[in-house]
Structure 1
Amino acid sequence: MARAQRNGRQPRREATVDGVPIRSLPKVSLHDHLDGGVRASTVFELATAAGLELPVDTSRALGEWFAEQSASDSLVDYLKTFELTVAVMQSADDLTRIAREFVADLANDGVVYGEVRWAPEQHQAGGLELEDAVQAVQDGIAQGEEAAEEAGRPIRVNQILSAMRSGTRSLEIARLALDFRDEGVVAFDLAGPEDGHPPADHAEALDLLAAEFFPVTLHAGEAAGLDSIRSALIDGRALRLGHGVRIAEDLEEVASEGDEVRVSFGDLARWVRDREIALELAPTSNLGTGAIARWGTSLEDHPFDLLYQLGFAVTVNTDNRLMSRTTLTRELARLVDAFEYDLDDLLEFQLNAAAAAFLPVEQREELIDIVTEGFER
């Protein structure tokens, strides 16, 4: 049953739930792109130093430009903004710096465990070998983790390597991920234009990963619909769905009486719900890319709450913090405001994410304890 909704308003600067600052709560981030989480000030500095053309004259204005360009209701237009961020991520030093800052920003947001995804094949314009690029990011992560520990904000971050689904290098990236499976890389992803580029196009890479028992999470159910999700599960053997919001298209309201809503499940939706396949939902991003256009144009229209009430393993993510001008704290605050969630609801979202993390079961259990104890405090 979906909960009653109220008119949305922007969260206060110090967002709280049940009187508790949301920023102080331990959080788990599963879907966060490295090239979508670069600080605007860093993009401005590196681009200026490299002589790259910028659309504005200040770093503050650049942050606003990213947000305006990304609120286009089109995933294709949304992805164009990455041309600038990727352009300043072509050296080992720059990758290390950006990864270090990425971890620091997560730690400052209360994240205790995160998985950062990025596509190494897009970072070779300066002559970097794939292996050197991955190592540079891992070095930055390690530096960020160490600094966060010293500051009293312990965090652990792992990498997810993405292959571009419109490209031809997925097998190469799959092998790269396997080479680094014990050195910080925990999963494989397909990113980029979703519609027209199904996982089946990358069968050789996905078959290799399955044979090696290596985890896969695929972008699906964002720009494309149920066929995209079906292919991610069948062809990709995905353990999680990147976004997956359009699984709600496989649900049909059959009766409504007062606050009670009866819903009929399609076979695909029932499989995803019953198998507890985590949905890596990113509310603000889903609005900006038009992923929820079928249901409306405001956060209150997002099927997040319906999926939650029906028992799907929903998780909350930022997707691209720069483009959406958001944080995990802000995403949770917006959901609290839209759907009147309380502390127990936010805990449920974090436990779903912790249970779906690409970690050994013992470490997932430890993460669950960290999150639970943090909420209890």
Structure 2
Amino acid sequence: MLSEKSTATIRATLPAVGGAIDEITGLFYDKLFAAHPELLRDLFNRGNQAAGEQQRALAGSIAAFAVALIDHPDIRPDTLLGRIAHKHASLGVTRDQYAIVHTHLFAAIAETLGDAVTDEVAAAWDEVYWLMAHALIAIENGLYAEAGTEPGPSLRDHLVVGRRTETDEVVTFLVRPADGSPLPPFRPGQYVSVQVELPDGAHQIRQYSLSGAPADALQFSVRRVTGTPDGEVSGHLHDRVRPGDVLRVSAPFGDVALADGDGPVLLASAGIGCAPLITMLGALAGQRSKRRVTVVHADRSRRDHAFHAELGRLVAELPDAEAHVWYEHPEGDWPAGRTGLADLSGVRVDPGTTAYLCGPLPFLRATRTRLLELGVPAADIHYEVFGPDLWLGRDESPAG
């Protein structure tokens, strides 16, 4: 809980800090990487840094946490903290790195805001930072313990034992621990971090959703990222990695995972967002679940739709399930009502539904808004977005 004195100071200075937060975080990363270039080379996503996405995500999380402390002082914002903690644990973030971040973040705040940063202001924001840091450290230590690893990187050598092309842009890899140790347990919907060595010697890490649950391997799927810049890790995996190669893979993490229960479930995805949700659907089919299951998926075309055949097979195996698929550019005889963007207007959403969403932000926003209009409580709508979560903390209740 934030002290009374600091609460007043944060409330008074939040507009100024919030207005300058993009400048502050940009300067922070400049300072951090100047002092610790190895972090950009071997830990942070260089593509997200170049695009500015990581800076915006950090700014959003800090602002959201400060607002939560002021508006809901007796409730810890676990949705916000859990999302960050799972990502940190997958990367192997440790307690000592929070001190490094603190040094350069507060230097950036002081340089950006100048004389406005009095001793009182600095102390109040210092309190906010360490409340957030200590909460994250505690959650991350719990996640490490749950995964059976010590705090720090859980990356281990894994042998690539299979590779399967799903679409022109999506490839699935199957890997096993190279030392022959058992596969780690995971919950449907979680992801692993994958580290590769690039031609310039950098060891870059990306997160990829587990897209199935074969008995003898971890399975994850990778969409080739194209744009400005192209995805250097996805491109490396597509172009260079074959069965027999070795990848560094972490224990599974991720806060958006299929929960037990007997109520209705809605799985809504767009593009490669179907990867974690097909694992959830597979788990329900494996349990011979009698739950009402509704699957919604949107894609560019049939040939771009990864796991299309598996989706049909799994839905057919469940006694009370149906799928609704939209294509922007359908081929052949395709219903006009299923052409274009996904539209939940004609989709049955029963009372008590728990929804899991995965895809790009516009899809998440539109789908979540429609589900709220249909009466699904915000706490029962869970989402996963690939890359930095630029939506983190927005339009969320403190309890999730």
Structure number with bigger Rg: 2
Structure 1-normalised TM-score?
0.33
